[in-house]
Chain A
Amino acid sequence: MKKAEEIFQLLKDNFPASNLELKTDQPTEAIIIASPLEIDKICFFLHDAPELLFDDLMNLSGVDEPKAGLLAVYYHLGSTKIKHKITLKVSTDRNKPEVSTLTEVWKSADWHEREAYDLLGIIFLNHPDLRRILMPYDWDAGYPLRKDYENPEFYQGMKVPY
């Protein structure tokens, strides 16, 4: 079992060119902040390194941060073999939200990423099947979990606000 500081150090040693940051001022777990276009490389390393073996993508959540003009993605990783956990975060520009996909690392990322795309409009680059998932496929009124979202008046001739 490794602590967040040790995992962070390992990442720093293996990705010296990356802009990584460890945030420990959280009320619960520490967060490692990474760059959105490098997250796939970092996660491949976390998944494959024999001393880390993060084989379980526990959760993937998109968050809208309009004040900072950002869309963030939180990754909660766990290992079923070593039983340690880590949280990663990437932030991307709200007007051009692009994050590398993790579907190559964990198959379970597929629907999580589709959901983040559907509800927040985060584009996961190279995702095999980036379609809406919970909302109707022809929903064209934007992304509901964004803070500035407003319901359309009508959807397919039906009144939306009740």
Chain B
Amino acid sequence: MAIKTEEMVLNMGPQHPSTHGVLRLELALEGEIITNVIPHIGYLHRCFEKHCEAMTYPQIVPYTDRMDYLAPMGNEFGYAIAMEKLLGIQVPERVEYIRVIMAELQRISSHLVALGTYGADIGAFTPFLYCFIDREKVLNLFEITCGARLLYNYIWIGGLSHDLHPDFVRKTREFIKEFRPNLKEINDLLSHNRIFIDRTANVGILPIDTAINYGVSGPNLRGSGYKWDIRKDDPYSIYHKFDYDIPVGEGKYGTVGDSWDRYYVRVLEMEESCRIIEQALDQLPEGDVQSAIPKRIKPVVGNVYARVENPRGDLGYFIMSDGSTSPYRVKVRAPSFVTMQVLNELCKGYMVADVVTILGSIDIVLGEIDR
């Protein structure tokens, strides 16, 4: 007589350390094998889009900070670009350079959190502390620039809230000089660690076609081996002036598009960000950072869609104006929100313990998913 088996439903979260916030996953299990994953989101919903309709355009900037709270500079950058496109503002060259420097520093700090927490999820706690030492230095750079360490309100429509601190250029160069050897150390400690590879290689393989159809973007898409980066393929700001590469997953320890590839693309991207920052610091022009800030913002009737490459992927803003001082509608295309949909596809057929590996490798931020 055959043993009677039954599908089991296991609840993971919302209070679970490796869901990176408040995310609830409903796992359907066949023994220890996953047959279905249903994510339940919305625990952090703060009505960002409804809120925007009651505020003036500059007042929205601090709220964008709070979406992807690990990369506020990128969020502000995207919003500023969308608004400048709608208003037809040309910002001074110095502003563009400072924005790029800030966005790339933010990419480094955001990826450091991603790598550190990923290691901690899997059981390697030391790299987490090493990553946070370097992240701390980036936050110090932000602190001398605008006074805030996490939520900056720095990139405004048409300009910046402050010019650079006199020590900023020197300190940033020092940081990059210190950071490069540390990056090698993280590689030795975590990336090429046998235990880490065994946990991540060949787990959660994401083929290119599936990735594109699900709208996966940023490092997750590049991890699948597809060379697609908004900075190169739909250029904005002054990214065309710099020389840098787009790293893609190569399947070094397993199959192309596995969790290790997605992880390692982030490591390589930090080095490319360092290269961009160095070039931007070399070329940094003089100028007034507030000369193009409009006194009163009243765009014409119409709408705009602009996107930027945030650390988590393709961040888009759809802003609709009715000619008044407040937007008629704001919709944010949050990269994590779109990427989360592919989780079911990635987890099917793997073990319960691999859910943590896969979820960590797509690097989500719940503040952005729930908005």
Measured in the bound complex, the distance between the Cα atoms of B259 and A123 in whole Å is 36
Q: Is the CB of B318 within 8 A of A56?
A: no
A-contact 0/1 string along B294-334, CB 8 Å cutoff = 00000110111101000000101010100000001101010
- Pick from A78, A85, A107, A119 the residue with the most CB of B within 10 Å: A107
Tell me how many residue pairs across A and B have CB atoms closer than 8 Å. Answer: 91
Measured in the bound complex, the distance between the Cα atoms of B371 and A108 in whole Å is 18
Q: Does A42 contact B (CB under 8 A)?
A: no
Q: What are 17 A-B pairs at a CB distance below 8 A? A: A26-B302, A27-B299, A28-B85, A28-B302, A55-B212, A58-B314, A59-B305, A61-B318, A63-B320, A64-B329, A74-B305, A85-B234, A108-B213, A108-B341, A111-B337, A132-B42, A145-B329
Given A61-B318, A76-B305, A135:B228 Cβ within 8 A: no
Q: Is the CB of A145 within 8 A of B302?
A: no
B-contact 0/1 string along A105-125, CB 8 Å cutoff = 011101110000001000000
Measured in the bound complex, the distance between the Cα atoms of B49 and A27 in whole Å is 22
A-contact 0/1 string along B203-215, CB 8 Å cutoff = 0000000101111
Given A58-B314, A87-B305, A111-B341, A80:B228 Cβ within 8 A: yes
Q: Is the CB of B305 within 8 A of A57?
A: no
Question: Which residues of A line the B interface, CB within 8 A?
Answer: 26-29, 55-59, 61-64, 74, 76, 78, 80, 83, 85, 87, 106-108, 110-112, 119, 132-136, 144-145
Q: Pick the contact of B213 from A26, A106, A119, A132 — CB < 8 Å?
A: A106
The smallest beta-carbon distance between B307 and chain A, in angstroms, is 7
Q: Pick the contact of A110 from B88, B300, B329, B341 — CB < 8 Å?
A: B341
Question: Which residues of B line the A interface, CB within 8 A?
Answer: 41-42, 45, 47, 49-50, 85-86, 88, 210, 212-215, 226, 228, 233-234, 299-300, 302-305, 307, 314, 316, 318, 320, 328-329, 331, 333, 337-338, 340-342, 370-371
The smallest beta-carbon distance between B313 and chain A, in angstroms, is 11
Measured in the bound complex, the distance between the Cα atoms of B306 and A133 in whole Å is 25
Q: Is the CB of B228 within 8 A of A76?
A: no
Q: Is the CB of A58 within 8 A of B333?
A: yes
Given A61-B331, A134-B371, A145-B50, A28:B86 Cβ within 8 A: yes
Q: Which residues of B contact A132 (CB under 8 A)?
A: 42
